[in-house]
Amino acid sequence: MASSSAGSGLTYKLHPLVIVNISDHHTRVKAQNHHAYDGSSGGAAAATRVFGCVIGVQRGRTVEIFNSFEILYDPLTHSLDRSFLEKKQELYKKVFPNFYILGWYSTGSEVQESDLQIHKSLMDINESPVYVLLNPVINHSQKDLPVTIYESELHIIDGIPQHIFVRSSYTIETVEAERISVDHVAHLKPSDGGSAATQLAAHLTGIHSAIQMLNSRIRCIHQYLVAMQNGDVPLYNSILRQVSSLLRRLPTMGSEKFQDDFLMEYNDTLLVAYLAMLTNCSSTLNELVDKVNTTYDRHTQRGVGRTAFI
């Protein structure tokens, strides 16, 4: 396995829908095997790998993986059912004409020898397929996602050209619909003794965590650039180009239009908070008036009854 620095330099963007699909595929197959195994011998089912294809688009040197679908795999011959794959590809082309098969996915803790054979069989569809590997084993000490993306490279080993897997970095990319779905899935549940967390609190908690992560990553980039300037780490032009592209976006945040839009959003937020405060005060005042009227009516009725008695 080559190091991650030996990759092709492509930028991979992975959508949460792909991770959800692979996890759902693994869970269903595991549950089916467990049920079948328990029915026959009463034991635990063995771990079974699942396989599928990932689809998306490639724009220049940016590869964006949007979705995935399952495929049939023969464990004896280590091959894929090509007729089933072509049929699924044709169906997806009718719904998503801009999506292409970018590669395939599987589950497991590490790459196996048979994976390279499957990888080569897809090169007639995509000359440089991507391999997405998800580790279904839960590791509570691991903070990163258990997802690894590999691409293949042709290396000369002992005078023989061979394909090897190279680990590639990736980022999580989401659209508005995916953010709503993921937020709904990860919605906070009420505790046993306390009240349920509101959607506003969950939203603000997510924004706070995102700002903290952004701050830590900016600090990491700054430390890396300082170390590169001092000669402590080697010089990588690809990383410098990415940093330069990031810095060129900063003038956009200092433009007049950005300031106007920011002040408008800020004023709208303050106005909503002000209206909420007025509504709360009006409700409290209304309750006080009702109590005063109820008390006054009782005193009036008592006075009328005492006069009639006299």
Indicate whether this model's pTM tops 0.75: no
Q: What is the pLDDT of residues 68-119, one digit of tens each?
A: 989 888 877 777 888 888 888 888 888 888 898 999 999 988 888 888 888 8
Q: Which two tokens stand for residue 271?
A: 């106005």
The per-residue pLDDT for 112 is 85
Phi, psi of 172 (to 5 degrees): -90, 125
DSSP letter string, the chain: -B-GGGS--PEEEE-HHHHHHHHHHHHHHHHHHHHHHHHHTSSPPPP---EEEEEEEEETTEEEEEEEEE--EETTTTEE-HHHHHHHHHHHHHH-TT-EEEEEEEESSS--HHHHHHHHHTTTT-SS-EEEEE--S--TT--S-SEEEEEEEEEEETTEEEEEEEEE-EEE---HHHHHHHHHHTPPPP-SSSPPPPHHHHHHHHHHHHHHHHHHHHHHHHHHHHHHHHTSS---HHHHHHHHHHHTTHHHHTSHHHHHHHHHHHHHHHHHHHHHHHHHHHHHHHHHHHHHHHHHHHHHHHHHHHHHH-
> CB-based contacts of 258: which residues, under 8 Å, 6+ apart?
252
* pLDDT of res. 43: 44
pLDDT at res. 245: 85
Q: One-letter amino acid identity for 139? A: N
Gyration radius (Cα) of the chain, Å: 30
pLDDT at 155: 77
Length of the chain: 310
Which residues of the chain fall below pLDDT 50?
Answer: 2-5, 41-46, 188, 190-196, 306-310
Identity of the amino acid at 117: Q
Structure tokens, 272: 């909503």
Whole-number Å distance between alpha carbons of 310 and 299: 17
Contact by Cβ (8 Å): 88, 69: yes
pLDDT of residue 297: 76
